[in-house]
Structure 1
Amino acid sequence: MSKKIVRKNKAPESVVTLQPTAEASVSAFGYDEMLTELEAIVADAATRLAEEDEAA
């Protein structure tokens, strides 16, 4: 008589990802830095719009 081999599935390992808190992300990228980035984005957009108007 042959024996059956029973395989038990391992429980998946839980993966824990740590997300930065709002306070940690603000201190890493403060208000002044965000404002500077936003001003740069607006300036780039204005330049692109001017170039598109000249091309049209």
Structure 2
Amino acid sequence: MSNKSKWIKAIGVAATVIGVGVNLITDWVNEQKMAEEVEEKVSEALARRDRGEAEES
């Protein structure tokens, strides 16, 4: 096998590993964003509920 062929294979493997890593990081970031949105919505709902209870009293 020639030296050029080895380099091409190595670049291909490196690109695959980098692609998988980027995909995993993207998934993690999206999960963090979703968790933040859920927490924000829950906080808003609790605040609305507390205001409603305070107005009834």
Please say which structure displays the higher CA radius of gyration: 1
Structure with greater helix percent: 2
